[in-house]
């Protein structure tokens, strides 16, 4: 050790100490000349650095990791192209309210504005941090080493509190290497690491219970806020006591197990008739942890998913901006879902000890499920090859244990999964809801597996989505992560191909050459997997899928299953406003192929 190290430590070393004290176990990222001081400090730490081949993989993996652990994940990025590569995953996390702290290296402070290597300086000097402003909760450029302790602490607090989300701590590389006193972080050492969350008062709770008790057709409508607050148990207790049927947004999927007798299903574009009709007929909508966004509300057109006004809205959310944004709200409450539901459960039991039972409603839900399954059975058992998407989903559900973690991408794997794939453990589906990012699922599975190594992790992904980030296989193989990537290969950006066909009668720029059965020039995903050192299998008959999945689970090896699939759109009873943009005055259905 040299003399300077005896009296101080570099900022990079302090940062790593701080992360250790916060019990961070993994940092996701990619190197560059601006962040190797941090990597050198990480090399001496029990924290594992998960190195990737593209920064988007780091941010998607970190996003999924935070979804599973429930705490802020950490990304370490290089400057400029590293940070912009990383941006899509950070924005994806932001739109789904996922806590994340991105630490990025930047040009040295003494070269601000001189155009040092890779500086972003077109509108302001050393301005790369501003690129993140529209999607992070806050971006800091750290211009003085002695501010690092309090900025890092604020960064974690902000990422995890209120409506969670990513933050950026942008650090000029000379600051990482500055030596500061050993006690520089002492003043924050004894601060609490977690903040208490806001709840609801008894008076408002009574008002809500009374409104729901008097309602004829109340419906609970829940979103990802339930899962972020880890409030599934409190939700279950409340809806069972009040006899409320439960509709959910895409992000709210799995808030209650899908086979719970009160679950209606996912609303919106890809909702079923039961859920959309139940919401339309509701006199009260009891909404928790949701933002009523377009896809979940059939573009807010009356008559498809919600009929508001008409139905009255009670809305509980941690973020005031979400309340009343799209629909008039009768009672709005800013509160954490878990804290609020705890109070509501206590007050409901005080006011109505016997609770409410709606056997006719439960029967209606059960009948619909039986009927839906019966209507789907032909497709769900079809031996057609390329396979029917319904059969792929049915066989996958059969092969997986109840607590398997499923990452989706966008396409059939998200819309069809939201509609007809039962999630049986809260928080076990990770989906890119707000940003709908093609390419999220495969690297997301890496983060999920690192966070929950003992659980089966599968990425359901389209061929388009898999093509976005195949180099994530390098990381999975290096870390020997037994993940399964099931490529639902319809040889197309199928979801968009379906829309284009419906409105323009063609598929130009939306399908790939060749066919799903015999891709003339298409990539061989199984070959790609094997080239990276993973297992890779291309299926040649529908009956091969279930055994292939079982074998992949049993092997515990990283495995890509390339599954040829018919390019049929996900059926829907909802509505999407783009119909009126592309085909005004025509009765075009997005179900058409
Ligand atoms: C990064 C990104 N680019 C483009 C889109 C628009 N988009 C939505 S679905 C889709 C097609 C996805 O294709 P694939 O992964 O093969 O799934 P499929 O629709 O065929 O089931 C595209 C391009 C997007 N959501 N994200
Ligand atoms: Mg596809």
Residue among 438, 500, 516 whose CB has most ligand 1 atoms within 8 A, to mutate:
438
Look at residue 326 in the predicted model and tell me its pLDDT: 94
Q: What CA–CA distance (Å, rounded) separates 40 from 505?
A: 57
| Contact between residue 391 and residue 563 where contact means Cβ atoms under 8 Å apart | no
213 & 346 share domain: yes
**Residue in the structure block whose two tokens are 């490529």:** 487
Q: Which of 496, 497, 498 has the most ligand 1 atoms within 8 A of CB, as the residue to mutate? A: 496
In a domain, 246, yes or no: yes
Mean local confidence (pLDDT), 20-40:
98
Q: Which range has the top average pLDDT, 454-468, 499-513, 559-573?
A: 454-468
Of 36-45, 93-102, 376-385, 478-487, the one with minimum mean pLDDT is 376-385
pLDDT the model gives residue 539: 96
Let me know whether 167 and 263 are in one domain.
no
**Across 385-405, average pLDDT:** 97
Amino acid 1: pLDDT: 43
Domain boundary residue, one of 363, 394, 410:
363
Question: What is the pLDDT averaged over residues 449-476?
Answer: 97
Mean pLDDT of the chain: 94
Please tell me whether residues 18 and 111 are part of one structural domain.
Answer: yes
Residues 390 and 350 in one domain: no
Q: Kindly state whether residue 196 falls inside one of the protein's structural domains.
A: no
- Of all protein residues, whose CA lies closest to atom 10 belonging to ligand 1? 493
For residue 192, name the pLDDT band (cuts at 50, 70, 90).
confident
pLDDT top residue among 195 and 225: 225
The whole domain housing 122 covers: 3-186
Regarding the beta carbon of 437 and ligand 1, being less than 6 Å apart is answered yes
Q: For position 500, what pLDDT does the model report?
A: 93
User: Are 37 and 176 spatial neighbours (Cβ–Cβ below 8 Å)?
Assistant: yes
Contacts of 328 (CB under 8 A, 6+ apart): 308, 309, 313
Same domain, 176 and 323: no
Residues 268 and 136 in one domain: no
Whether 239 has a pLDDT exceeding 70, the answer reads yes
Q: Is the CB of 512 within 6 Å of ligand 1?
A: no
CA-closest candidate to residue 268, choices 499, 573, 571, 502 = 573
The kind and range of the H/E element at 496 are: helix 494-504
Query: Are 290 and 249 contacting, i.e. CB atoms less than 8 angstroms apart?
Result: yes
Q: Is any ligand 1 atom within 6 A of the Cβ of residue 87? A: no
Of residues 509 and 571, more confidence is placed in 509
- Nearest residue (by CA) to ligand 1, atom 20, is 494
Of 88-102, 173-187, 260-274, 506-520, where does mean pLDDT reach its minimum? Answer: 506-520
Task: Examine the domain organization and report whether 576 and 460 are in the same domain.
Answer: yes
The predicted model gives 549-558 an average pLDDT of 98
| 300 has a pLDDT exceeding 90 | yes
Is the pLDDT at 427 greater than 70, yes or no? yes
H and E: helices and strands count for the chain = 23, 20
Give the pLDDT score at 570: 79
pLDDT of 580: 84
Mean pLDDT on 60-68: 98
Q: Give CA–CA dist 482/387, Å, rounded.
A: 25
90-101 pLDDT tens trace: 999 999 999 999
pLDDT at 514 over 80: no
pLDDT attached to residue 350: 98
* CA 245 and chain centroid, separation: 24
pLDDT score of 6 more than 70: no
Query: 129 and 166: one domain?
Result: yes
Do 161 and 206 lie in a common domain? no
Q: Which pLDDT score, from 0 to 100, does residue 41 have?
A: 98
What are residue 26's DSSP bridge partners?
A: 48
In a domain, 281, yes or no: yes
Is residue 197, in this structure, part of any structural domain at all? Answer: no
Read off the CATH number of the domain in which 39 is found: 3.40.50.970
Domain count within the chain: 3
Question: How many Cβ atoms from other residues are within 10 Å of residue 205's Cβ?
Answer: 24
Among the ranges given (199-203, 280-284, 413-417), the one the predictor scored with the smallest mean pLDDT: 413-417
Residues 207, 175 share a domain: no
Q: Give whole-number Cα distances, 80 to 127, 261, 541, in Å.
A: 10, 51, 46
Q: What is the DSSP letter of 544?
A: G
Percentage of the chain modeled with pLDDT above 70: 96
Position 294 in a domain: yes
pLDDT grade, residue 583 (50/70/90)?
confident
- Tell how far the Cα of 464 is from the centroid of ligand 1, in angstroms: 6
Question: Considering every ligand atom, which ligand is closest to the CA of 411?
Answer: 1
* pLDDT above 80 (res 123): yes
Report whether residue 412 contacts ligand 1, using a CB cutoff of 6 Å.
yes
Task: Choose one of 313, 329, 363: the last residue of a domain.
Answer: 363
- 127 with 233, same domain? no
For position 289, which CATH number holds? 3.40.50.1220
In this prediction, residue 419 has a pLDDT band, given cuts at 50, 70 and 90, of: confident
501 belongs to a structural domain: yes
Report yes or no on 240 lying in a domain: yes
| Mean local confidence (pLDDT), 448-456 | 98
Region 125-145 average pLDDT: 97
The CB density around residue 328, as the number of other CB atoms within 10 Å, is 9
C-beta atoms surrounding 442 within 10 Å: 29
> Is residue 516 scored above 90 in pLDDT?
no
Q: Which residues contact 24 (CB under 8 A, 6 or more apart)?
A: 47, 74
Q: Is the pLDDT of residue 522 over 80?
A: no
- In the prediction, which pLDDT does 97 show? 98
In a domain, 193, yes or no: no
- What's the whole-number mean pLDDT along residues 524-553? 97
Q: How far is the CA of 573 from the centre of ligand 2 (A)?
A: 22
> If you average pLDDT over residues 223-227, what whole number do you get?
97
Per-residue pLDDT of 279-291, as tens digits, reads 999 999 999 999 9
* Same structural domain, 400 and 494: yes
Helices (H), 315-411: 337-351, 359-380, 389-399
């Amino acid at each position: 050790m040299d003399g300077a190290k005896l009296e101080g430590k570099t900022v990079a070393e302090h940062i790593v100490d701080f992360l250790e004290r916060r019990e961070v176990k993994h940092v996701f990222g990619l190197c560059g000349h601006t962040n190797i001081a941090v990597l050198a400090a990480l090399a001496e730490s029990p924290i594992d650095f998960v190195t990737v081949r593209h920064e988007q993989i780091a941010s998607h993996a970190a996003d999924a990791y935070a979804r599973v652990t429930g705490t802020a994940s950490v990304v370490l990025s290089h400057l400029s192209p590293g940070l912009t590569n990383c941006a899509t995953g950070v924005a994806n996390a932001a739109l789904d309210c996922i806590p994340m702290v991105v630490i990025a290296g930047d040009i040295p402070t003494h070269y601000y504005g001189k155009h040092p290597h890779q500086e972003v300086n077109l509108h302001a000097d050393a301005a790369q941090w501003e690129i993140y402003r529209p999607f992070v909760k806050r971006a800091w450029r750290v211009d003085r080493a002695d501010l690092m302790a309090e900025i890092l602490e604020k960064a974690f607090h902000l990422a995890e509190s209120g409506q969670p989300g990513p933050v950026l701590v942008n650090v000029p590389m000379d600051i990482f290497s500055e030596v500061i006193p050993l006690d520089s972080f002492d003043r924050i050492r004894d601060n609490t690491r977690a903040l208490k969350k806001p709840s609801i008062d008894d008076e408002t709770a009574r008002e809500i219970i009374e409104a729901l008790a008097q309602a004829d057709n109340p419906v609970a409508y829940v979103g990802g806020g339930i899962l972020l607050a880890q409030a599934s148990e409190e939700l279950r207790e409340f809806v069972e006591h009040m006899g409320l049927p439960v509709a959910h947004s895409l992000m709210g999927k799995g808030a209650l197990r899908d086979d719970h007798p009160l679950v209606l299903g996912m609303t919106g574009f890809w909702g079923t008739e039961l859920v959309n009709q139940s919401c339309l007929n509701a006199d009260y909508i009891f909404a928790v942890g949701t933002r009523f966004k377009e896809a979940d509300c059939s573009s807010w057109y009356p008559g498809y998913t919600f009929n508001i006004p008409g139905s009255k809205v009670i809305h509980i959310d941690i973020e005031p901006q979400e309340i009343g944004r799209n629909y008039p709200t009768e009672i709005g409450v800013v509160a954490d879902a878990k804290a609020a539901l705890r109070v509501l459960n206590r007050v409901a039991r005080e006011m109505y000890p016997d609770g409410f039972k709606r056997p006719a409603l439960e029967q209606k839900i059960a009948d619909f499920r039986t009927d839906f399954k019966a209507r789907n059975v032909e497709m769900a058992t079809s031996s057609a090859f390329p396979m029917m998407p319904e059969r792929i989903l049915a066989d996958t559900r059969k092969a997986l244990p109840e607590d398997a973690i499923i990452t989706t991408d966008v396409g059939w794997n998200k819309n069809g999964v939201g509609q007809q794939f039962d999630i049986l453990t809260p928080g076990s589906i990770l989906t890119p809801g707000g940003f709908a990012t093609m390419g999220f699922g495969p690297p997301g599975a890496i983060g999920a597996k690192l966070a929950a190594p003992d659980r089966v992790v599968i990425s359901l992904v389209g061929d388009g989505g898999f093509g976005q980030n195949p180099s994530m296989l390098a990381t999975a193989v290096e870390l020997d992560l037994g993940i399964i990537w099931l490529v639902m290969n319809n040889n197309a950006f199928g979801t968009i191909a379906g829309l284009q066909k419906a409105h323009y009668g063609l598929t130009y720029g939306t399908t790939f050459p060749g066919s799903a059965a015999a891709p003339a020039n298409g990539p061989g995903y199984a070959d790609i997997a094997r080239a990276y050192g993973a297992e890779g299998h291309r299926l040649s008959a529908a009956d091969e899928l279930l055994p292939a999945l079982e074998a992949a689970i049993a092997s515990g090896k990283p495995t890509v299953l390339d599954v040829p699939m018919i390019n049929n759109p996900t059926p829907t009873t909802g509505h999407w406003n783009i119909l009126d943009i592309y085909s005004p005055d025509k009765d075009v259905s997005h179900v058409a192929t």
